[in-house]
Structure formats: structure tokens, C-alpha cells
Chain A
Amino acid sequence: MAKWSPRKTLTARSMFIVVIVVVAFLFCIGNLVRIQIVEADYYKSKAEENQLYDTEVPAKRGTIYDANGNIMAQSASVWLVFIDPHSVPNDEVRGKLCNDLSEMLDINGDSLMKKLKMDKYRYLVIKRRIEYDLKEKVSEFLETSYTYVVKDEATGEDYTRKAYVKTMVGIDPDVKRYYPNNGLASHLIGFTEGSDTGQAGVELYYDDILTGIPGRIVTAKNANSEAMPLQYETVYDAQQGTNIVLTVDENIQRYLENALEQAYIDNKCASANGIVMDVQTGAILAMATKDDYDLNSPRDVSDEDVQAEFEELQAKRAAKYEESGKTPTAEEIEQGKQEDMENAELNVFYDNIRNVTISDTYEPGSVFKTITACAALDQGVADPSTTVSCVPGGIHIANRTYHCNNHTVHGTLDMTGGLTKSCNSYFITMGQRLGVDNFFKYFEAFGFTEKTGIDLPAEAKPVAGVTYHPLSNMTIVDLASSSFGQSFQVTPIQMVTALSAIANGGKLMQPYVVAKTLDENGNVISETQPTVRRQIISAETSAAVAEMMRKVVNEGTAKNGYVIGYRVAGKTGTSQKLSKPGEHVASYGCFAPADDAKIAVIITIDEPHGGQIQGGQIAAPVAAQVVENTLKYMNVEPQYTESELKNLDTTLSNYKGKNVTETVKELKSKGFSYKVIGNGDKVVSHLPGAYQTIPQGGVVVLYTDGGPVDTKTTVPDFTNLTLTQVNQRAAASGLNVKISGNTLVNSELVSYSQSIGVGESVDYGTTVTVYFKSNTGVTDLTD
């Protein structure tokens, strides 16, 4: 600076300072570029973590309807209560809040306090599924506040503050599942638990589509957790779950369950199970396992069952200790008891919800002879007239000898005879004629080596070498026992599907329980098309075997499966349980009408202890009731044979106002009995009334103008009687009886059930249906 000038120094130094300031600004801008552009997403998400409160809105779960649109399962809107422990200011408020909430919501104060103290959390659910009334009460409570005192640390002064309940407690929507029919079709429908997720049955299998998509409400809240102005709220609507229409018909389900319930009680069995299938489509019309459980409270198990299971587990535990030679300490015993109790409850629960019809396997026994018959006919190794001699000493295969039940000797039989008498020798011979390869071909074709593919969870998977003999190592001994349904296992759903194939001309269908799905407005989203898995036998074979099976019902072991007018084709089975020696499975499979089949029914009675074990005794009558009710309900026109016509009901003329003596004469001539009440000359009214149905030879009660008299009578016990006895007793009581059961055969029929209970008071002339069955000539136990 040779020529010093203050001005120049000032200019230069000012310039320098300005440059420094500008550089500082550039630094700031650079930093803003980093925060606002480069790392903006990070800071934005951090800010949103602060501001945004995401609330899930549960989607309403889809409704489950039966085939007629009756509601089987439905979700209703309820509410849940949550707390925001973080917003509770101090222990004083916490205590008050805990008291008020636990009282209002009826929840344990201690556990609530524990949750209230988790002050790192902002959302803890304390009560689920509260109904409208309680929700309204909680809403009112939300508008209240607590006052509390805080001490200012600096000044030592006390300040009074307010803690608003709505900042600490809130209500959100929730859902609850209702099953209006409680236990009806419980194993098929299944139930939900937790956050409404399916745990069994259709509820589980179709959980995905039933669930729907939960909605969200994203709200921006300020630092006091109050909502910011509305513009920040984004609502994503919940999408309701898909509705499901079952193939199951509530009425048919009730027919099946009522019949099974009685069988379950009478036979003191482990379980009584049944399926009704539409043979043309494979649609399940009814499916039940008894005992059932209440879908509204699936975890409520009976104390007796738990106690029994507990004792069993304790016995096992004791045996284990004995085996190892150790003496358990008192502590171990106590712990073991606790464990066993917990396990017992779980075991009973799982046992209750088990759908035996698809999850359990059983030895099909003689019912399977229908399949062997199909195979033999279809393969051409025999025709219906092929005879086999059932001789004393049985039939020898390799080094084994097989006898028929009770060493019965059937003599020479054709195939119809083999089936009606359920002759083991006949079908062992058929099996040997087929040979291992052909037998297995049909075994496989009928679907016994694979799942049926029914749209329900937990279908038992057949396992080669475990549930059936694989082709690779099937010996002729295996073949022999297999050909009459022993030494392998199937599920009831497999069996009824196979029977349907015999009924429908040889098509093996895929069974299904969901007919269609609907959106929330009732529009059809999808409709299940029946799936033919394959053609397995020719229509001729199918027709031939169906006709033979009809004869089994009309004159063979299945005569208790007879239903007047409906030409039932059936086959009984009674098998020994290989897994539990000494126990049996009584079963009966049928379809009707034989020549134009609509439905197939399978009934299995597992481990019966009611004195009778034969499928023909205890399973066939169940099916008969189901078939009769179902086909009538489905408006299938009955076709009567001449002999059946004799037993048909007839219609009564109108005798009102006519002379009593003349009326009596006319009734006599038509074969009716009569009972005159009162001593007048004219008929004032009569029961059954004009144009009502009355069994042939039934009782007509005539009321005369002789004054009022008692019109009620008491229903007597009609069970365990012969036909004649029942008719006598009915006439004596002034009641009409309708006979259900096979009256065409000359074997001894015994009544076992009546439609109106003993001791009930009914009008004279009321018709009581009495169910008959035969206990002779229906045995088919194989050994």
C-alpha cells in the first residue's frame, strides 16, 4: 500500500466483508438444499411420525349364507376401547382413570394399571367388542376431565391443571362375529378368533376373501394429540369382505343333525357323522359331526370332558413315572397337574372342533364292496350273474382263511346276492379275479389315494403304506382284505364322493361347500361350477350296481334304510377299528332315487356302545330319516310300487254336518277305524279334518253335537313295539300313526322312535310318525 488512501482501504475491506457475508449465505442455502431436497424424505417421515396418527378401521367380515340365503355367520359393528398411557400426566390421574375405567368396562384393575403405566405407548387396547350401549357410556365419559395439582418446582406454587379424558382414552370401531344357529353346521362353518381371523371350517378356508381390506384413518394431530384442522385427515375406506353362499341348506342340515343327534345319544358313541351330497354336482347339502360345539363360544368346553381327559393324562403321567422308576417330587406332581389340566382343556377343544367327516379316516368295511363290484363289472372280470360259492371253511388266500360274518355260509350267490347278504367270499373272489393292478386302478380312480379337494381345511391326506396299500407292495392278502373294505382307511367325504360316482353314471365329482361369492350389494362375484374329476366307470356299470344296491335296501342288510317311494340304493358296513381293537365303526352309504339319483348320504357311527354295532342297525335308520325328509323337502316326486301304495296315506272326505251313523258306515266301508265323541246325531267336526291325509286304516275321530267334551289325548310310548302293537295302541289312544321304515320285508320290525314325544297332549286323531327298523338280517360285520 504505497499510496495509502482510507477510501480504498474501506472499499477493499468492505468488499471483503460483503463476500464473507455472501459466502455465509451460500453455506446456508447449501444446507437447505441438503435438508429440503436431498434428505427431505427422511425429515418428512420423521415429521409424519410426530404428526400422523394412523388408525385402522376393521373391514366388516363377509357374511356366510346357506343355500337359501339364511344367515349362518355375520359380523356386527362393535367398538373397542384403547388408552394412550403416554398422555396420562401423573399417578393421581392414573389412579382415578384406572378406577373409573375398570368399573365401567368391567375389567381387572390391576392389569389395567399395568397397561396405564406403560407410558412409552400411545395406543393400547383395553377392551374389545363392546356393544352400542356401553360405547355410548364411554363416549360420555370421554367428555369429562380430571383436575389435578402440580407444584411448580421453581416457585413452589401449586397450579391446578385439567387432564381431559379424551386425550387419554379413545374408542375405535371393532367387529364381532355372530352365529345365529349356534352349533348348527359348526364343523363346516368354523369360527373366528382374535382379530376376527378364521380358525376352522369355511371361516378358515375362505379367510382371505371373507376378511376384506381394513381401512385407515390417517389424522394429523398436534403435539397435544388433538386433531389438527380437518384438511389433514385422510380416510381410506375399509373394503368389506366377500359374502359367501354355501351349498349347504339349513333345512337339510337340520334333518341330518336331528337324526345324528338321536343316534349319538342312543349309541353312546365317540362320534356320529354324516354327509349329504348332491350326486350330480358334488355340492355338499349337509355335513355334520356330533357332538357339535357352539360357534359363538368355541372355547367353552364341558367340565366333564375336561375332567375325563385330565384323568387320562394323569394316568399316562403316572405310568411314565412307574416305568422310569422315579418318584416325582410334590412340586413335580403339582406342575404335572397344572400342565395336564391345560392340555386337557386344549385337547377337548381340538377334539370338539374336529370335522370327523373330512379329517378322520375309518375302515369303510362292507360299504366298500360296492366299489369292488363296480371294478369287477367295469373291468369285465365278472357280470351280475357271476356266481361264487360261499362254503363252510371260508376262502383261502395265500396262507390266510377268510370267513363271512359269524361264519355264516351263504351258499352260491350271484353279485346281487353277494351284495344283499354282504358276502365276504364273493368280493374276495372278485378282488382276486381283478388282480392287484386292476384293483388298484379302480381304487385310485375312485379317489381313495388322494384328497377330494373339498374347499374345507384339514382334509386328511391319504398316505401310501399308512392309510392304504400302495400298488408297489400290495400282496394278494392285502388285496383280499381290501376287496371287502378292511385293512385300509378312507374319509367319509371320500366314500360319499365315490358313492355319488356310482349314482351319477360314473363321474367322480369334486365336492364343494361354497356355491357362490357375493359382493356387499349382493352381486355375484363368482359361482362354483361343478368339477368332474374324471369318468371312472361306465354308465352301464353304474346303473347295474345302483340296481343291486337298491335290492340291498329292499331285501338285504340295508332294509332299515328303506324309504317309501324313494327307491333308495344303499350298502351297510360294520368294520373293526384296526387302531383300536375291540372298537367298531358302523356305517351306511346310500343314494336315492336309485334310477335318478339326487342325493347321496354317508353315515358313520364311531365306536358305538349302545348295545348294537351293526351299520344296518344303527346307521341305516339315520340315513333313512335324512333321505325321506330331504327328498320330500326337495320336492322329489315319490314313485310307489303297488305294494307300497297299500300303505299310502289317503285323503278324508268332508263329513261335517252329516249323520253320525251314516258316516260311521261309510268310514267302515273304506277301512277306517272311528271314535265317536259325544252322543249327538250330527257330526260337528272330525279329526283329521276334511281333505286332510290319513294313513290307510287310520282312526277318524267324530265330534257330535252332544256337547263339549275333552278333545285332548296323551301320546303313549310307541317305541320297542311291533307294527301290530303300535296300531293297537294308536287306536286305543285315538291317534293316527304313520309308519316309517321298510314294511315290505317279512322280517320282524321294531319301532325305535316317534315324532311326537311320550306324554304330550295332542288333539284326537293327530298323526304320529313311528319309525321302524329291523334287527334281523342286517348284519355284515366282517372279521
Chain B
Amino acid sequence: MNKNTRTNTQSGSGLNVSSLRRQYFPFLTLRKPKDYLAKGSFDITFFLLVVALLTIGLVMMFSASYVNALYDSSASVENNPYYYIKNQLVFAVIGLVAMYVISKIRYDFYRDISFAVLLVSYVLLVLVLIFPVEIPGKEEFKRWLSLGFTTFQPSEIAKIAIIMYCAWSMERRKKAIYSDWKMMIPYMIVILSICVLVYLENHLSGTILILAIGLVMTFLGGINIKWYIPIVVVGVLGVIILVTYPEILEKYAGQRIVAWLDKDYDPQGARWQTNQSLYAIGSGGLFGLGLGNSRQKHLYMPEPQNDFVFAIVCEELGFIRVAFIILLFVLLVWRGFVIAMRAKDTFSSLLVMGIVFQVGLQTALNIAVVSDLIPNTGISLPFFSYGGTSLVILLAEMGMVLGVSRYSKIQKT
């Protein structure tokens, strides 16, 4: 199954251009396009879970955004209550098409482009620091690049790039990884360099997410387990230090930690959004106020369609239905895990695990933020939060998982 790659590694000892090209950009030379057409059927369970979450997410995003859009007289929204859902639906359709197309491509293609994606990601992360799209009121954040018709966050690309790169590279070096504990170092260089670039965007939450994804990828890839004890210790110490001395962080991040620690801190400012979120969740109770009946979305909750959409979901649907939605996410992660375990090779396994871990982690962190378990960081809720390109990227990732599922083998015990 990994015949081609292995051959390349063995024969590509010379450092000539064509060998490099074959090693790192195999999609340019090795195969013809028709080789990349995937066969077999994808995992219907995973597909249904994705469709279910996307549907619920769209409905809830619509409900949460309706009032906010109605009162928004800015030039783009123009008090059109359908503004957000219209945009999101367009991207959802694009994303679903992309998901299907991507699932029809053999995952070997993604292996082949992995290194290229990483390089593109570096370029984008540098570009965003030079040509950021400034969003009024959020000028200090350099997170967005313009595509002309829409904007996107290079850090979203960076996440999948890290996953793909690690999966690709660690598959190639699995023996070396097993035998040499120092193999952690080159991966950490890549991961940390990406993290630094994202951090320079003033994007702490993105930095943490990428670091977490990167570390999990190295862990799954088989890096010596001893590395993770000091990493966990350092992580815990870091959290303790940040919580104790939030002022060492930049002002906006530090303030959010203070606001998380002190529940009475600046209720009209730093804690406003979190408080409104808690009021919304609490108001929902067991059965919720009913779809569309959120009160907190009536301008109390700032930007209810974005990171805090889950609070409105809790308010309208109530605990029982929310628990069901969380169950859908858990099942998605579980089904991804099953697909990964049934995958034919290490790359596809790692790719799927990385993707579902990313979705799971982001979901858990978002819920934790919304319910005040952790400080308020800008993490969106997959399938629910408003944001076109991130939805397209998410569905593309789901397409990759589905693509891998076409080649599943029934796992031997």
C-alpha cells in the first residue's frame, strides 16, 4: 500500500531537484489525475452525523442571528434578518459540494500535497501579518486575509496543514520515531514556528488550539511517551502561572482571565458577554423557551451568531435537547475514531484522528467558554457558528474523513 512512498525514500538519496520534488511534492510528477479518483462507498453513519449537525447548526444560527441582524443598520446587513443565514447557506452548499468532491478523491492525493499545504500555510501566515483585513473595532487582531469576495483565517488552514503534515511525515518516519526519542524535536520546530506566527496575529486561542493539535498528532504518531510527562507538567504550570499572573499576557487576553476568575469583574464590559451567556443558558432550563423564543438574543448577547451561538441554543432548546446535540458531537468523534482505526494505513488513520480531534476539542472548548468553565477565548462552535470559510474548511475536512472511510478495512482483532 505504501509501495510508492517507500520506493521514493529509498531511491531518493541524491539531493537533486527531481528527487526533492518526488519526495515532497509527489502530486506534481508521480501520478495522473485519474489515479486520484476514489472508489468504494463512504461511511454513511459519519455522513449522517455531519448532515444532522450541519442542519441543526444552520437552524440555530438562523434563530440566533435573526434579531441581531434585524437591528443592525450597518451598510452590509441593512436590517435584513436573513443576512447571516443567507450567507451561511451559500457557504454550506459550497461546503457540501466540496465535501463530496473531496471524498471522491483518493486520500493518497492529500498525502501527496501535505508538505505543499504546510508551505502554503506558512506563506499565508506571513501574508496575514503584512496585509491583514482590518475589522472595525478589532484592529489589533490580524487574523483575516481577503479573498476578494470573502475573508478567511489562515490559522484555519494552518490547523489542517499541521494535521496533514504530521500524518504524512510521521508515517514516513515511523521507525525512526520509534527508535529515536529526539525525533520530537523537528516536529516541535514546525509546530512551534506555526504557533509563533499565529500568536503574532494576536490570536491566543488559535495558538493554543494549534499547539494542542500538534502535540496530539505527535503523540498519536508514536513519539516517545516520556516527552509528554514534562509537557503536561509544563502545561499545567503554565496554566497556573497565567491564572496567577494574568498581567504577563497582553492586555486583552489577561483581562479575560481576570474576568473569568472574578465573577463580579466589570459586568458592563469584560464579563458582559459571559454573564449574558450564563443568563441565556440558565433561562433555558430543562426544556428551553422554544425554538425562536430566546430573549437574550434581543441585543443582550453581543453577536449571538458567532462564538456564543451555543448559549442561545441552550436557551431555546433546553438541557435535554442540548445534551442530545452534544451526544451527536461525541458520536461524530467516536465514528471518526472507528474510521481511523479501520483505515488502511498510518497516514489516513492519523489524518482522520487529527481532524476529529480538532472538531472535538474545538466543540468542548467552545462549550466550556460559553458556560464559563474556562476564560473567554475566541473559539467558534463547529457547524453552528457563523463564518463561511471556516464552515467550508470544516466540511472539506469532513470530506477527507469520508474519503478515508471509502478505503476502510474491517478491523482484525
**A44 contacts which chain B residues (CB < 8 A)?**
279, 282-283, 285
Q: Closest approach, in angstroms, between the C-beta of A476 and any C-beta of chain B?
A: 80
- Residue A13 interfacial (CB < 8 Å): yes
For B251-295 the 0/1 string (1 means CB < 8 A from A) is 000000000000000000000000110111111111000000101
In angstroms, Cα B367 to Cα A28, docked, is 6
In angstroms, Cα B223 to Cα A13, docked, is 11
Q: Closest approach, in angstroms, between the C-beta of B141 and any C-beta of chain A?
A: 14
**Which residues in chain B, 57-111, are within 8 Å of chain A measured between CB atoms?**
67, 71
- Residue A11 interfacial (CB < 8 Å): yes
**A47 contacts which chain B residues (CB < 8 A)?**
279-280, 282-283, 295-296
In angstroms, Cα B337 to Cα A17, docked, is 10
Q: Closest approach, in angstroms, between the C-beta of A723 and any C-beta of chain B?
A: 88
**Which residues in chain A, 1-29, are within 8 Å of chain B measured between CB atoms?**
4, 6-7, 9-11, 13-15, 17-18, 21-22, 24-25, 27-29
Most buried by B among A4, A40, A154, A224: A40
Q: Closest approach, in angstroms, between the C-beta of B281 and any C-beta of chain A?
A: 5
For B328-350 the 0/1 string (1 means CB < 8 A from A) is 01100110010011000010011
In angstroms, Cα B326 to Cα A39, docked, is 20
B333/A21 in contact, CB under 8 A: yes
Q: Closest approach, in angstroms, between the C-beta of A494 and any C-beta of chain B?
A: 63
**A15 contacts which chain B residues (CB < 8 A)?**
337
**Which residues in chain A, 181-230, are within 8 Å of chain B measured between CB atoms?**
220-224, 228
Q: Closest approach, in angstroms, between the C-beta of A600 and any C-beta of chain B?
A: 66
- Residue A149 interfacial (CB < 8 Å): no
**A221 contacts which chain B residues (CB < 8 A)?**
298
- Residue A670 interfacial (CB < 8 Å): no
> Which listed residue, A10, A50, A154, touches B220 by the CB 8 Å rule?
A10
In angstroms, Cα B103 to Cα A112, docked, is 70
B279/A25 in contact, CB under 8 A: no
Q: Closest approach, in angstroms, between the C-beta of B284 and any C-beta of chain A?
A: 6
B364/A222 in contact, CB under 8 A: no
**A4 contacts which chain B residues (CB < 8 A)?**
178
Q: Closest approach, in angstroms, between the C-beta of B60 and any C-beta of chain A?
A: 16
- Identify which of B112-120, B235-243, B314-322 touches chain A: B314-322
Q: Which residue of B lies closest to A24 (CB)?
A: B364
Q: Closest approach, in angstroms, between the C-beta of B137 and any C-beta of chain A?
A: 8
- Residue B360 interfacial (CB < 8 Å): yes
- Residue B131 interfacial (CB < 8 Å): no
**B372 contacts which chain A residues (CB < 8 A)?**
31
A22-B330, A36-B284 given; A43·B278 CB < 8 A: yes
**B67 contacts which chain A residues (CB < 8 A)?**
222
A14-B220, A17-B220, A40-B285 given; A224·B346 CB < 8 A: no
Q: Closest approach, in angstroms, between the C-beta of A317 and any C-beta of chain B?
A: 54
In angstroms, Cα B314 to Cα A10, docked, is 36
Q: Closest approach, in angstroms, between the C-beta of B153 and any C-beta of chain A?
A: 23
A43/B298 in contact, CB under 8 A: no
Q: Which residue of B lies closest to A22 (CB)?
A: B330
- Residue A400 interfacial (CB < 8 Å): no
For A362-375 the 0/1 string (1 means CB < 8 A from B) is 00000000000000
In angstroms, Cα B371 to Cα A25, docked, is 12
**B286 contacts which chain A residues (CB < 8 A)?**
36-37, 40
B178/A6 in contact, CB under 8 A: yes
Total chain A interface residues with beta-carbon distance under 8 A: 43
A36-B318, A222-B298 given; A9·B371 CB < 8 A: no
B283/A31 in contact, CB under 8 A: no
- Residue B216 interfacial (CB < 8 Å): yes
Interface of A is mostly: helix
> Which listed residue, A25, A39, A46, A224, touches B299 by the CB 8 Å rule?
A224
**Which residues in chain B, 158-191, are within 8 Å of chain A measured between CB atoms?**
174, 178
**A50 contacts which chain B residues (CB < 8 A)?**
276, 279, 296, 300
**B334 contacts which chain A residues (CB < 8 A)?**
18, 22
- Residue B402 interfacial (CB < 8 Å): no
**B216 contacts which chain A residues (CB < 8 A)?**
17
B361/A31 in contact, CB under 8 A: no
Q: Closest approach, in angstroms, between the C-beta of B276 and any C-beta of chain A?
A: 8
> Which listed residue, B285, B323, B350, touches A29 by the CB 8 Å rule?
B323
A13/B220 in contact, CB under 8 A: yes
- Residue B139 interfacial (CB < 8 Å): yes
A43/B282 in contact, CB under 8 A: yes
**B373 contacts which chain A residues (CB < 8 A)?**
27-28, 31
A10/B350 in contact, CB under 8 A: yes
In angstroms, Cα B371 to Cα A33, docked, is 11
- Residue B231 interfacial (CB < 8 Å): no
**A231 contacts which chain B residues (CB < 8 A)?**
293
**A350 contacts which chain B residues (CB < 8 A)?**
none
B285/A36 in contact, CB under 8 A: yes
B326/A33 in contact, CB under 8 A: no
A228/B295 in contact, CB under 8 A: yes
- Residue A35 interfacial (CB < 8 Å): yes
For A28-59 the 0/1 string (1 means CB < 8 A from B) is 11011101110111111011001100000000
**A222 contacts which chain B residues (CB < 8 A)?**
67, 71, 298-300
- Residue B368 interfacial (CB < 8 Å): yes
B220/A51 in contact, CB under 8 A: no
For A464-476 the 0/1 string (1 means CB < 8 A from B) is 0000000000000
Q: Which residue of B lies closest to A16 (CB)?
A: B219
Q: Which residue of A lies closest to B216 (CB)?
A: A17
In angstroms, Cα B295 to Cα A269, docked, is 69
- Residue B308 interfacial (CB < 8 Å): no
A14-B353, A17-B353 given; A25·B337 CB < 8 A: no
A32/B281 in contact, CB under 8 A: yes
Q: Which residue of B lies closest to A21 (CB)?
A: B360
- Residue B357 interfacial (CB < 8 Å): yes
In angstroms, Cα B140 to Cα A154, docked, is 12
**Which residues in chain A, 248-305, are within 8 Å of chain B measured between CB atoms?**
none
**B364 contacts which chain A residues (CB < 8 A)?**
21, 24-25, 27-28
A40/B282 in contact, CB under 8 A: yes
For A578-594 the 0/1 string (1 means CB < 8 A from B) is 00000000000000000
Q: Closest approach, in angstroms, between the C-beta of A166 and any C-beta of chain B?
A: 16
In angstroms, Cα B295 to Cα A46, docked, is 12
**Which residues in chain B, 186-234, are within 8 Å of chain A measured between CB atoms?**
216, 219-220, 222
Q: Closest approach, in angstroms, between the C-beta of B208 and any C-beta of chain A?
A: 14
Most buried by B among A9, A21, A39, A51: A21
> Which listed residue, B174, B278, B296, B368, touches A6 by the CB 8 Å rule?
B174
A51/B295 in contact, CB under 8 A: yes
B360/A10 in contact, CB under 8 A: no
In angstroms, Cα B279 to Cα A576, docked, is 76
B282/A28 in contact, CB under 8 A: no
**B340 contacts which chain A residues (CB < 8 A)?**
14
In angstroms, Cα B220 to Cα A14, docked, is 6
> Which listed residue, A13, A14, A35, A220, touches B281 by the CB 8 Å rule?
A35
B281/A6 in contact, CB under 8 A: no
- Residue A232 interfacial (CB < 8 Å): yes
Q: Closest approach, in angstroms, between the C-beta of B95 and any C-beta of chain A?
A: 23
A11-B341, A29-B326, A228-B298 given; A39·B219 CB < 8 A: no
**B281 contacts which chain A residues (CB < 8 A)?**
32, 35-36, 43
In angstroms, Cα B360 to Cα A27, docked, is 13
Sample (23) of A-B pairs whose CB atoms are under 8 Å apart: A4-B178, A6-B174, A6-B222, A13-B220, A13-B222, A14-B337, A17-B219, A21-B360, A24-B361, A28-B371, A32-B367, A35-B278, A36-B284, A36-B319, A37-B285, A37-B319, A43-B279, A44-B283, A47-B282, A47-B296, A51-B296, A222-B300, A223-B300
Given A10-B222, A13-B220, A222-B298, 14 other A-B contacts at CB below 8 A? A10-B349, A13-B219, A17-B219, A17-B357, A24-B364, A24-B368, A28-B364, A31-B368, A35-B281, A36-B284, A40-B285, A46-B278, A222-B299, A228-B295
Q: Which residues of B contact A (CB under 8 A)?
A: 67, 71, 139, 174, 178, 216, 219-220, 222, 275-276, 278-286, 293, 295-296, 298-300, 314, 318-319, 322-323, 326, 329-330, 333-334, 337, 340-341, 346, 349-350, 353, 357, 360-361, 363-364, 367-368, 371-373
